[in-house]
């Protein structure tokens, strides 16, 4: 059994204690450290080498957004799941753009938080198509025009097939669904996704989805 090394970051000691109690009881999860502020994250990551960081967004000194940006810019950075109290929040969007693999609400049932950590550790984003649409709708009014030209320039580096896969990812489709839709194998879809991430210098599928939205590709496709 593979054990997931987990770092908890939250300024509320009661929240940290609750998360530690809840997550530490799972056989496949090891709590390797706790931090009360984003300023502590880098040193703890160096010392404990977590697979996943469960990161609160709002903290008094260095917030979770800044800590996520700094962390995901590092080589071999752990995956980050942000903790928040809102579904569609500007800071959540910024954290996802910075490379967070998803988010969970603080009032999410314990089993779902555990499932989210396991999914992220396995390389899967923690965003359902419904939540993705909510976030993109929230982003619609937030300086979209200033991002569109830049997003389209980046998308233009993809070939036609990669662009089709990117749009399908933006629609929230899983690899098997994309394979069926575009008449290719799941392995080929995975290869295309990897190439898209490399070409566009992105961390995960969530960032692909946000970029396709910014570029207007989902609107063109009727979504």
pTM of the entire predicted model: 0.70
Q: pLDDT tens-digit profile of 153-202?
A: 899 999 999 999 999 998 888 888 999 999 999 999 999 999 999 999 88
Q: Where in 3-109 does DSSP place strands (E)? A: 4-9, 29-35, 52-56, 79-84, 102-105
Q: pLDDT tens-digit profile of 95-131?
A: 888 888 888 888 888 888 888 899 888 877 776 555 5
CA 202 – CA 218 distance, rounded (Å): 18
């Amino acid at each position: 059994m593979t054990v997931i090394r987990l770092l908890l970051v939250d300024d509320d000691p009661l929240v940290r204690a609750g998360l530690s109690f809840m997550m530490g009881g799972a056989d496949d999860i090891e709590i390797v450290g706790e931090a009360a502020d984003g300023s502590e994250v880098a040193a703890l990551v160096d010392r404990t080498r977590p697979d996943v960081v469960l990161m609160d967004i709002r903290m008094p000194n260095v917030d979770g957004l800044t800590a996520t940006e700094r962390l995901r810019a590092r080589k071999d950075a752990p995956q980050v799941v942000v903790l928040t109290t809102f579904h569609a929040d500007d800071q959540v969007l910024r954290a996802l753009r910075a490379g967070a693999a998803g988010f969970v609400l603080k009032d999410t049932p314990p089993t779902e938080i555990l499932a989210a950590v396991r999914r992220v550790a396995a390389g899967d984003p923690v965003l359902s198509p419904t939540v993705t649409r909510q976030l993109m709708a929230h982003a619609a009014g937030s300086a979209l025009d200033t991002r569109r030209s830049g997003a389209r320039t980046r998308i233009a580096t993809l070939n036609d097939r990669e662009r089709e896969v990117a749009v399908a990812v933006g629609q929230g489709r899983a690899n098997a669904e994309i394979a069926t839709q575009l008449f290719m194998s799941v392995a080929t879809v995975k290869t295309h996704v990897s190439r898209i991430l490399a070409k566009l210098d992105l961390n995960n599928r969530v960032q692909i989805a946000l970029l396709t939205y910014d570029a207007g590709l989902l609107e063109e496709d009727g979504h």
